[in-house]
Amino acid sequence: MKARFEATLNALERRNRQRRLMPARGLDFTSNDYLGLSVSPILERAAMDALDRNVPLGSGGSRLLRGNHAEHEALETEAARYFHSEAALYLGSGFQANQAIFSSLPAAGDLILYDELIHASTHEGMRLGRAETLVFPHNDVNRAEETLRSWRASGGTGHVWIAIESLYSMEGDLAPLKDLDALAMSTGAVLVIDEAHATGVFGAQGCGLAHGLGAETLTLHTCGKALGVSGGLVCGSRVLIETLINRARPFVFATAPSPMTAALVRASLRALEERPGLQAAAQSRIDHAQGEARRCCGLAGLESQIIPVIVGDDNRTMSWAGELQRLGFDARGIRPPTVPRGTSRLRISITAHVSHPEITALFEAISKLLEEGK
């Protein structure tokens, strides 16, 4: 058996697709710590305050078996208010939250209609669930509507769940939320919106891009990106949240997140409400990065803090990433199967850990690589 796995790893190595752990080094153009909260005095003080209040570091069990703590419930109450929903549920990770949603809410006879670039965690949830699944081309609302109506015409009678991300983690582009909202309203579908990379960066006080839509929505807000901690918050109607508590195996059978992390997420939400400068500073860096990416590299149509530089070839992608790391920029190469074949890329993430001049230096270095690649 060992030989089989070694052969698999060797095959990945020959194609330059073997994943390896590597330490953080150089300027941070890779993480999702968009606001820099993970290492901020804000969360340091919140941690010390929680310790002073005897908030436990571990939960000791699942939420349904004594692992539930007042900090979990306080976070869920505040998150529901902050994200403008009836209720919220805190889980151990965004991945776990998507598994919970799609494995337990859509039933047999329902349809999950999903964007082709939806996150792997959604695919895992759909795989574990009983609903039918159909894909539509990325951000193509017309094709989504055609697919949905064709399913109805062929006899589909169940509920429809439209699964999208508000900001896509590898493309860096935004979903056409208004058009998708109109589609969901006209067809009675539920919009399930993964706000992982929008939370904290976009929307009023960083609440994301989904607030104010007319259709019924279920939103996921991960806490390990701009919020700087860990976990995932599912926000929606009270009946959907109660259903997750009763039926979602990734919630029912998992050890509860640490009450300490819940206390820290609460502090992050308060910081976003009380310190608009966090979001303003992030937007300033994003605007500067997009401008420099256009000027130095000819990249257009950029919409967010995630800037993909498409290289195409796996080997060249990893070579360029290595060269940038040698120059002091922690930029990573992304290859299939994380992205479609032929679209290997440098995924540039604009974080609070870099300055405007450092952003300029990065894109000038990428410009030289692009010129050499010609």
Could you list the active site residues?
A: 32, 119, 165, 169, 194, 197, 225
Task: Please name the residues in contact with 310: beta carbons below 8 A apart, sequence gap of 6 or more.
Answer: 343, 344, 345
CB 188 within 8 A of CB 175: no
Cα 319 to chain center, whole Å? Answer: 27
The tokens for 320 are: 């360029």
DSSP class of 26: S
Q: Of 177, 193, 257, which Cα lies nearest the Cα of 223?
A: 257
3-state secondary structure (DSSP) of residue 35: coil
- The CA distance from 97 to 249, in Å, is 10
The tokens for 142 are: 């017309």
- The CA distance from 216 to 189, in Å, is 7
Residue type at 136?
F
User: How open is the CA angle 242-183-192, to the nearest 5 degrees?
Assistant: 30
- The CA distance from 134 to 113, in Å, is 5
Strand segments (E) across the chain: 27-28, 87-91, 111-115, 132-136, 160-165, 190-194, 217-222, 232-236, 306-312, 329-330, 332-334, 344-349
The tokens for 328 are: 């002091």
- The CA distance from 324 to 135, in Å, is 36
Q: Of 35, 33, 34, which Cα lies nearest the Cα of 271?
A: 35
3-state secondary structure (DSSP) of residue 62: strand
Q: Of 203, 263, 208, 209, which Cα lies nearest the Cα of 231?
A: 263
CB 32 within 8 A of CB 198: no
Query: Going by DSSP bridges, is the β-strand pair 132-136/329-330 parallel, antiparallel, or unpaired?
Result: unpaired
